[in-house]
Amino acid sequence: MTLFQALGPFAASGSGMGDLEFITSTTFSAASTVSVDNCFSSRYTHYLMLRDVSGTVAQNIIQARMRVGGVDASAANYRQQSLTGSSTTVSGARATGNTAFNPLLGYVEATSIGLVQAWMSNPFQAVPTTAVVRHTQAATGNIVAEYLLLAHDLSTSYDGISFLVAQGGGASTGTITGTIYIYGLVA
């Protein structure tokens, strides 16, 4: 699902009474892992995740693992394809056999909270979960646009998700502080 498909009806109506519902938010401090249980349900098929998060080590990334019954799905079933714009260069990269979405909620910055929009489809349905992510960084210096399509291969129903700080391009693995918001689209 694209942002256009997801949000077109709201703008068209102009009523503001769209069926994008706030489900939950989780606030944390100096965390290396954040788990959110019971956020996915049969009420929704598609979800939007936003974040206001800063971290202790710049260039760390926030990975994610699907979760059911309080247990992370950590097997090598995650795949992704990226499209990156950096100055005048357009590039792509594919990874299969990952043990997490890498990343799902973008890069960590020490001095700002960056931009991440992550749409996830079908986590609770017994089909492979997919996601679309757009993210960038807000720190001073250069700016890069990255788009990701992600998929989890198993046809498992997941009711939660874990976010994990990983080194990414950072010098080490630090912690994150902030809030993650989860919304659901009513079908």
Partner 1 sequence: MPSNGLRYITTTTFTTASTVSVDNCFSSTYKHYLLRGYVLGSTGTSQYINLRLRASGTDASGSDYRRQFIQAASTSPSANRATTDTSMVFGRGIAQVATAYSPYNELWLHNPYDAVRTTAAVELSYDFTGNISLFSEVGAHGLTTQYDGCTIFASAGTITGQFSIFGLAVS
Residues contributing to the site for partner 1 (CB under 8 A)? 3-4, 7, 10-11, 14-18, 20-23, 25, 43, 48, 50, 52, 83, 85-90, 112-115, 117, 134-145, 147, 179, 181, 183-184
Nearer to partner 1, 54 or 175 (CB): 54
Query: Rounded to the nearest whole angstrom, what is the least distance from the CB of residue 169 to partner 1 in the complex?
Result: 17
DSSP single-letter state for residue 102: S
Query: Rounded to the nearest whole angstrom, what is the least distance from the CB of residue 78 to partner 1 in the complex?
Result: 24
Query: Rounded to the nearest whole angstrom, what is the least distance from the CB of residue 77 to partner 1 in the complex?
Result: 29
Residue 112 corresponds to which tokens in the numbers above? 């700002």
Q: How far is residue 81's CA from residue 61's CA, in Å, rounded to a whole number?
A: 16
Query: Rounded to the nearest whole angstrom, what is the least distance from the CB of residue 114 to partner 1 in the complex?
Result: 6
Nearer to partner 1, 89 or 172 (CB): 89
Nearer to partner 1, 92 or 172 (CB): 92
Beta-carbon-side half-sphere exposure of residue 47 (alpha carbons within 13 Å)? 29
Nearer to partner 1, 31 or 113 (CB): 113
- E strand segments, the chain: 20-31, 33-36, 44-55, 61-68, 71-72, 78-86, 89-98, 115-121, 129-136, 144-152, 160-166, 176-186
Query: Which helix (DSSP H) or strand (DSSP E) does residue 9 occupy?
Result: helix 3-13
Nearer to partner 1, 132 or 164 (CB): 132
Query: Rounded to the nearest whole angstrom, what is the least distance from the CB of residue 79 to partner 1 in the complex?
Result: 22
Q: Are 162 and 154 in contact (CB under 8 A)?
A: no
